[in-house]
C-alpha cells in the first residue's frame, strides 16, 4: 500500500465499491429467521457486524505459525445484504442474486453469517455464477441440515440443494457430525446421495481438521466450483458459547483454524480455488466477552491466510 506499513488486517479491508478487483470479498448475511423456524435462538442476524468488529480490531497481517504475510492481499467488503423483507423467500432471492454477482466478480467470496439456511441461496448463487454447473463442497457442522421440509429453515439447506440438483451428492461431504444430532433417516439419505461423512469422533482419532478438509476437497472439488460452509456450532460450546444451537461436545478451535487454512490454500488440478467460504450461526446475543465472534474472525483470517499462501507473491 504505497510503502505504508500494513500491520493490521483492517488496513487491507476496503469497501467493494473502491475495490472492484480483489483476492477475497466479504459479505454479511444478517439472517436468523431460518433458525427461529427450527426452534432455535434468535440473534444470528447480528453476526456479520460482530465478526467485522473482531476482524478490524484484533487480527494482524502476519501469521507466525505459517510465516505468511497478508499485506499483499486485496480484500473487499460488500457490506450486508438487505434482508429486512417480511417475506423469507424474497430474502433468499436477494441472497442468491447478490452471491451470483459477487462470485462472478471476485475469485473468492467469504460469507459472514447468519443462520445456516442462508447457504441454500449462497450455493445457488455460486451455481448461477458458474453457468449452472452443479457444485461440490463441504459442510463442517454438528448437524447434517438435510431435513425434507417445504420451508427454508436452518436444518434444510443441504437437503434442498441435493434434492433440487444444485449440489451433487458424490461431490459433497459432511464433517464433524455429532453423536446424537443426526437421525437415522438423515444418515440413510446421505448414503443414498453418496455423501461422504466424517463424524466428530473420527476427527479426534489422530487426524486434524486440516487433513480431512484437504483430502475431501481433492475428491469433491477437482472439477467443480467448490464451497466450504463452517457452522460454528461444530465447535464445543466451552470454546464457542455464542451460537444458535450449542453443544458441549465438538471439534476444537485448532481443528477449525487448520481446516479453514487448508480450505483457503486449496487449489484444484484445474487451478480452481474454493470459491465460497462461510462462517455461520454465530449468535452474539449469547456470546461471552466476544469469545465466539473472535473465533469466527480467527477462522476467517485463517482462510484468508491460506489464500495468501496459495498466491505466487507470498511463496
Taking alpha carbons only, the member of 130, 99, 117 closest to residue 28 is 99
Instruction: Give me 236's grid cell.
Output: 464445543
Taking alpha carbons only, the member of 267, 248, 304, 270 closest to residue 74 is 304
Burial of 8 (0-12, 13-18, 19+ CB in 10 A): middle
Residues 137-162: b if buried by 16+ CB within 10 A, e if exposed: bbbbbbbbbbbeeeebbbbbbbbbbb
Predicted pLDDT at 223: 81
Taking alpha carbons only, the member of 296, 295, 280 closest to residue 117 is 280
Taking alpha carbons only, the member of 228, 240, 242, 214 closest to residue 278 is 228
Cis (ω within 30 of 0) for the bond into 220? no
**134 phi and psi angles, rounded to 5 deg:** -55, 140
- Continuous segment of H or E residues that includes residue 277: strand 274-280
Predicted pLDDT at 204: 63
Per-residue pLDDT of the chain (315 residues; tens, 9 = 90+): 544 578 999 999 999 999 999 999 999 999 999 999 988 899 999 999 999 999 998 789 999 999 999 999 999 999 999 999 899 999 999 999 999 999 999 999 999 999 999 999 999 999 999 999 889 999 999 999 999 999 999 999 999 999 999 999 999 999 999 888 889 999 999 999 999 999 888 876 655 667 888 889 999 888 889 999 999 999 999 999 999 989 898 999 999 999 999 999 998 766 789 999 999 999 999 999 999 999 999 999 999 999 999 997 644
Amino acid at each position: 500500500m504505497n510503502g505504508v506499513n500494513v500491520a493490521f488486517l483492517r488496513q487491507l479491508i476496503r469497501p467493494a465499491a473502491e475495490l472492484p478487483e480483489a483476492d477475497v470479498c466479504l459479505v454479511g448475511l444478517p439472517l436468523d429467521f431460518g433458525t427461529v423456524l427450527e426452534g432455535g435462538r434468535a440473534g444470528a442476524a447480528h453476526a456479520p457486524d460482530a465478526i467485522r468488529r473482531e476482524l478490524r480490531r484484533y487480527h494482524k497481517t502476519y501469521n507466525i505459525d505459517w510465516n505468511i504475510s497478508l499485506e499483499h492481499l486485496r480484500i473487499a467488503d460488500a457490506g450486508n445484504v438487505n434482508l429486512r423483507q417480511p417475506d423469507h423467500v424474497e430474502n433468499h432471492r436477494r441472497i442468491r442474486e447478490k452471491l451470483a454477482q459477487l462470485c462472478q466478480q471476485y475469485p473468492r467470496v467469504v460469507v459472514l453469517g447468519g443462520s445456516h439456511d442462508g447457504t441454500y441461496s449462497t450455493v445457488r448463487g455460486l451455481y448461477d455464477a458458474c453457468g449452472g454447473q452443479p457444485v461440490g463442497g463441504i459442510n463442517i457442522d454438528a448437524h447434517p441440515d438435510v431435513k425434507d421440509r417445504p420451508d427454508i429453515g436452518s436444518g434444510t439447506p443441504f437437503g434442498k440443494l441435493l434434492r433440487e440438483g444444485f449440489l451433487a451428492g458424490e461431490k459433497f461431504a459432511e464433517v464433524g457430525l455429532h453423536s446424537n444430532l443426526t437421525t437415522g433417516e438423515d444418515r440413510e439419505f446421505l448414503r443414498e446421495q453418496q455423501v461422504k461423512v466424517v463424524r466428530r469422533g473420527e476427527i479426534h482419532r489422530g487426524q486434524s481438521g486440516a487433513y480431512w478438509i484437504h483430502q475431501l476437497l481433492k475428491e469433491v472439488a477437482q472439477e467443480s466450483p467448490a464451497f466450504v460452509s463452517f457452522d460454528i456450532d461444530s465447535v464445543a460450546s466451552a470454546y464457542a458459547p455464542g451460537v444458535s444451537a450449542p453443544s458441549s461436545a465438538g471439534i476444537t478451535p485448532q481443528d477449525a483454524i487448520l481446516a479453514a487454512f487448508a480450505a483457503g490454500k486449496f487449489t484444484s488440478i484445474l487451478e480452481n480455488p474454493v470459491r465460497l467460504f462461510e462462517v455461520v450461526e454465530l449468535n452474539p446475543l449469547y456470546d461471552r466477552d466476544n469469545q465466539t465472534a473472535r473465533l469466527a474472525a480467527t477462522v476467517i483470517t485463517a482462510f484468508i491466510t491460506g489464500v495468501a499462501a496459495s498466491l505466487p507473491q507470498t511463496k
